[in-house]
Amino acid sequence: MKVLIVGASGMIGGEILLQCLTHPSISTVVAFVRRELPAAVSENPKLQCVVIKDFSVWPEELLQAHTDAAGMIWAMGSYNGSVTADLEYPSAFQENMAQVLEKNPTGSQFRFVQLSGKFVRQNQEQKLWFLEKPRKIKGLLETKTLEVAKSHAAIWKGFIVKPGGVVAKTIMGNGVVGVMTSMGAAMGENWSVRIDELGAFMTYLAIDGEGEDPLIENARIVRRGRELLKLQKKASESSQS
């Protein structure tokens, strides 16, 4: 199974990439990047890096080469509200890939998994008291993603993942998982998610996601992410015994 990803060089995207590379059902991960990834990652035999100079331009022949992918995980984004990065780039991919798949249907739905945020708002008229610009720009992308999925329902499925605070692996050593779990528990499952839970969940959406809603809030990400990580650990222990 093949999965595509944009944003693999970022903190969250990097975790998603690792989750994809270690997933037993995924044979190929294609990362669209501006520059090559570090050798420690790029040398993985599952990984293919495709350098893209302009993420607003997706040639048909490039997309045609990847119509066999299960889906795309879009983890690129800005913090200050960039119309280009947060709206135009992912919209361009969705529009162009949907057109290619409409002309050459594969018989299954392509899954577009969009990383959004808990506080993103689609309502452009709503008054927001903090970070209004980035929250509304990403809200426009949420609306666009839902529209693409609706207008191309036979070949396309969209998932919008809305995590709260993401607890990163900032503390090294044997206590990292315990510290991450404690921090997440302190904030509550409605407000925070461990980065490995988020990465596992978004990987799952790209290859399956059966029964999941198009808009997915933090609590669901946490619960299902934990289940997936437990299954991974159990499978790993079984293979080693």
Q: Picking from 3-7, 66-70, 123-127, 236-240, which range would have the lowest pLDDT averaged per residue?
A: 236-240
Q: Picking from 38-52, 166-180, 225-239, which range would have the lowest pLDDT averaged per residue?
A: 166-180
Q: Which amino acid is at 105?
A: P
pLDDT digits (tens, 9 = 90+) for 193-214: 999 999 999 999 999 999 999 9
pLDDT tops 50 at residue 166: yes
Residue closest to 231 by CA, chosen among 5, 218, 185, 239: 239
Domain parsing of the chain, residue ranges: 2-164+194-235
Contact call for residues 116 and 160 (beta carbons, < 8 A):
yes
Q: Which amino acid is at 62?
A: L
Question: For 185, how many CA atoms within 13 A lie in the half-sphere containing its CB?
Answer: 7
- Partner residues linked to 2 by β-bridges: 28
- Partner residues linked to 3 by β-bridges: 29, 71
Beta strand segments in the chain, E? 2-6, 28-33, 47-51, 71-74, 110-115, 156-162, 165-167, 192-194, 215-217
CATH code reported for the domain at 2-164+194-235: 3.40.50.720
pLDDT tops 70 at residue 188: yes
